[in-house]
Chains A and B, each alone.
Chain A
Amino acid sequence: MIQMEQKKVLLRESFGGDALTPEPESYGKMVWRRFRKHKLAMAGLYILIFMYALAIFAPVIATQSYEAVDPPNKLKAPSREHLMGTDHIGRDVFSRVIWGSRISLSVGFVAAAVAVGLGVLIGSTAAYFGGRVDDILMRFTEIVMAFPTFFLLLTIVFIVERSIFNIMLVIGFTSWPSLARMVRGQILSLREQEFTEAARALGATDARIIFRHILPNAMAPVIVSTTMRIGGAILSESSLSFLGLGVPEPYPSWGSILNAGRTYLLQAPWITTFPGIFIFLTVLAFNYVGDGLRDALDPRLKD
């Protein structure tokens, strides 16, 4: 019986009548197969795995504490002992960059999560309720968007207490508007799609339509945007730290290491070069991964 079935499948395929593969492919598998084809995205993924491994295993990898001061050995060039040299008070730049990856990466992650959470909440509320609620929420979103983000960031940072957690929140709170608009647009267009109508014609409840039909289909662009946003949040944190408004001393973030090395740019370029490379690679990797995800998640693009 089973053999018959298989024969039937084989037969159909040899005649080219049915282009289906013998084993069904799950959605996740299909996305992964398509993602793997995107070479830059794969490179980005490897870089990110490497970076997160550094952050997770920082206590093992870092050769010294991030706050161990050693003034006699200040501004030393990279050597066996100090892989990336030392800064102006003799701290090991390598260890600080490794420990800094923890802060920079988690700032990126939490800030993006806050932005996405707010964006999805506000965007979907506006789209679902429509009318007055939609008008009010969207005008508010536009007002927030109209502020120059970075100056808004600077202002808030002046007001709230400077801590790692607050920096994460502040970056998150300033970057949700574009996401809210995107989510709203997605839901508005999905609501009009025929498969949503089909579900309504079957008698499906609103909750079922939202959670089974609309949200799963709205997720793809949100995932892509989140990925890119993490890179953006890391850059924001670095910029704030570079202006001395970011993560307070002695905690290292890639941006604060850059800031500390700024004065010695010519004398000791290694202090700025290495965290700079890490920021650059990480943000680039996030962008490529986002690009790859966008291609892989788009059902309209054929393999």
Chain B
Amino acid sequence: MSDYLLEVKDLKKYFPVRGGVFSKVTNWVKAVDGVSFGIYPGETLGLVGESGCGKTTTGRCILRLLEPTSGEVVFGGQNILELDRRQMRKIRKEMQIIFQDPYGSLNARMTVGDIIGEAFTVHGLAKGKERAEKVQELLKVVGLDPYHSRRYPHEFSGGQRQRIGIARALALRPKLIVCDEPVSALDVSIQSQILNLLEDLQEEFGLTYLFIAHNLSVVQHISDRVGVMYLGHLVELAPKDRLYSSPKHPYTVALLSAIPVPDPDMRKKRILLEGDVPSPLNPPSGCPFHTRCPKAGAECRESRPELRELSPGHFVACHLA
């Protein structure tokens, strides 16, 4: 489909493992192994999965903060992996990122004004007084006070720092923002504030989000569609309501059964998965999930299931679904 704002096609990112005296490549970690999906303008696509499943790597590859091993990232009709450095710098105005760690993501040696204003300086868009005014405007937009621009990050709380990170991402008026676990480092009470802010900003600026998280309730709250990743693969992708009400992939079913229910009397059947996630160094043949799947059969061990559309908009990669 061509009405996607961003389309990821068969994205792969392998990290070399080096060993021995001459630092030879002895193996590859297949962090992302053939992921495809698209994001419509103005929607929020949630991406969930356990730690190490490749969801963060996917986000980084889309922005070319990591160079993908192969695949395509089509943004606005253009495969951005083919762009040279200069062209890439330009297109960065259109896609930004919000990080997980509100401490590590702000340079402790720069004032908030410089952190947010760097975007304008880098692209030669504004300087001096004009830049200061734009920064103050952005601070207001994210719910901070204009006079905060002269302060340093260490003077702020985690939630406030996250707002600064959001203001920085917003500065260039991007179309797409990759939110890499933007609330998982925050207190629960602050999480909802930040989520509401993100929703308000989406409405105000017509933003499109790729929302990466491991917290299923958070993703349910904010997303329009949700993708589930397991061991470098996208195993299920569906509109939010469909995914949460009738999951098709056994992994999604197990994942959803693990959401705690705030009712002590309600007994829910929990599906406990056996064993650990296999190492991406040596992923299982066939379906990546077959080693832990309660329903796995012979076919699952032999051939890898492709992502196919079960019902309109509901994609699953499972032989049994």
Contacts and interface: CB of A to CB of B under 8 A. Distances in A.
Contacts of A205: 122
Interface residues of B, number: 40
Contacts of B111: 24
A interface, by DSSP: helix, strand, loop or mixed?
A: helix
Interface in A202-218: 202-205, 208, 212-213, 216-217
Contacts, number: 80
A143 interface: no
Interface string B82-101: 00000011101101110111
Contacts of B219: none
A135 B104 contact: no
A44 to B, nearest CB: 25
B165 A203 contact: no
Contacts of B152: 24-25, 27, 30
B122 A202 contact: yes
B92 A201 contact: yes
Given A5-B147, A135-B23, A201-B63, A299 B107 contact: no
B127 interface: no
A216 B155 CA distance: 19
A202 B109 contact: no
A194 B154 contact: no
Contacts of B118: 199, 202, 204, 212
B168 interface: yes
Contacts of B154: 30, 299
A4 interface: no
B101 A194 contact: yes
B93 to A, nearest CB: 7
B109 A203 contact: no
Nearest to B22: A135
Nearest to B154: A299
A30 B154 CA distance: 11
Interface of B: 23, 60, 63, 65, 88-90, 92-93, 95-97, 99-101, 104-111, 118-119, 122-123, 147-148, 150-152, 154-157, 165, 168, 171-172
Interface of A: 5, 19-21, 24-25, 27, 30, 135, 193-195, 197-205, 208, 212-213, 216-217, 299
24 contacts: A21-B155, A24-B111, A24-B150, A24-B155, A25-B152, A30-B152, A193-B104, A194-B99, A194-B100, A194-B101, A195-B104, A197-B60, A197-B97, A197-B99, A197-B105, A198-B165, A201-B97, A202-B118, A202-B171, A203-B88, A203-B90, A212-B110, A217-B108, A217-B109
Given A203-B90, A217-B108, 7 more contacts: A194-B104, A201-B65, A202-B118, A203-B88, A205-B122, A212-B118, A217-B109
